[in-house]
Homo-oligomer: A and B are copies of this chain.
Amino acid sequence: MSHRSVAEAENCRLVRVELADRSYDIEIGRDLLPKIGEKFTSLFPGAKAAIITDNTVAGLHLETVEASLSKAGVEYHAIELPAGEKTKSYDGLTFACDAVLDTRLERGDLVIALGGGVIGDLAGFVAGIIRRGMRFVQIPTTLLSQVDSSVGGKTGINSGHGKNLIGLFHQPSLVLADTAVLDTLPRRDFAAGYAEMAKYGLINDPDFFVWLEANWQDVFAGGSAREEAIARSCQAKADVVAADELENGQRALLNLGHTFGHALEGMAEYDAERLVHGEGVAIGMVLAHEFSVRLGLCDPAVTDRVIAHLKDVGLPTGIDEIPGQKPNAELLMDFIAQDKKVSRGNLTFILTRGLGQSYVEKSVDPVAVKDFLTEKLA
């Protein structure tokens, strides 16, 4: 139907990440995967590709990508890793580096990350360190990766000491966010990605948060609000990244909910059965609001509103909702101290003064955090 075609065309959106000679486009729209071959031959003529993906995504979407690349005559190799956070490890890194070197690709060829944030972070890191830097393209397939991890060039792996402690900044050459691939995403993962979306509202865009309160069902259902919400999120992230690529200042705002969230993920041993990243962020954002209330910075009604919306979409909002052994404050403080947002003993947290009024607070007293957590866990 021509009406639908026009709507689809309208729903194809472009966001530009402005970083001087490292600038790149994020394309957002339905059914971009089948067109990837053409896109590559026009943007990267002559380049070969190593597709890094996980076995779940491979089963669902790799054939579409391969068919399109083959049709366009692009030489490619597919490298599959196990799905899950454990792939973002030294072992995953070694395996992926060796696999890319096996393909004999050269510096000007491309690494393609086809998957969620785990694959994007790993593949981006691999691309950053093979031959001291290959080009790479992000094809995020989860909502979280489409609105967050694929944009901005943060790449890396976890160590036993904590999340993302090993890695580097390496910007992609292109991000392709095909919103149709999200139709195969389990609802729980969709909700987890939604937490990062809500985050952009809570950072500095209360209107967007209000818009989400009204439109979230359509975002989940795959209506046109989905592309709108993803594009707005990418634009929000692109703006922050353009202003502060290497996180020396305002980029830290993107960590709203993440210091607590990472600690919870570490405590849950990165076990996706218990907690996925976005769920940790949802609980972490609630904790950040509650901690801000406790410090007298923020009206408790704001926290209630945030909790209500996150609950509506099916996200956890309290530590007690994490199945398994209950953490203690000491263990969480240990993870928090290992988080990279630490400077000379003081903790940096993103706190808030109201709905969508977050700011970077660099001198948070660890004792206050511990007291707060001890009470929450009592």
Contact = CB atoms under 8 A, between A and B. Distances in A.
Contacts of A132: 154, 156, 167-169, 247, 340
A161 interface: yes
A166 interface: yes
A46 interface: yes
A248 to B, nearest CB: 10
A223 B74 CA distance: 60
B101 A90 contact: no
A107 interface: yes
A27 to B, nearest CB: 27
Interface string A166-188: 11110000000000000000000
B161 A129 contact: no
Interface residues of A, number: 36
Nearest to A337: B104
Contacts of A272: none
A113 to B, nearest CB: 18
A133 interface: yes
B342 A129 contact: no
A364 interface: no
Interface in A117-164: 128-133, 154, 156, 159-162
Instruction: Determine which residue in A90, A97, A160, A166 has the highest number of CB atoms from chain B within 10 A of its CB, and name it.
Output: A166
A159 B95 CA distance: 11
A42 interface: no
A90 B166 CA distance: 13
A269 interface: no
Contacts of A342: 106
A5 interface: no
Interface string A97-115: 1100110101110000000
Instruction: Determine which residue in A97, A162, A337 has the highest number of CB atoms from chain B within 10 A of its CB, and name it.
Output: A97
12 contacts: A90-B90, A90-B93, A101-B162, A106-B343, A107-B343, A108-B344, A129-B156, A130-B165, A132-B154, A132-B340, A133-B168, A133-B169
Interface of A: 46, 90, 93-94, 97-98, 101-102, 104, 106-108, 128-133, 154, 156, 159-162, 165-169, 247, 337-338, 340, 342-344
**Which 6 A-B pairs rank lowest in CB-CB distance, beginning with the nearest?**
A101-B161, A131-B340, A90-B94, A129-B166, A132-B168, A132-B167
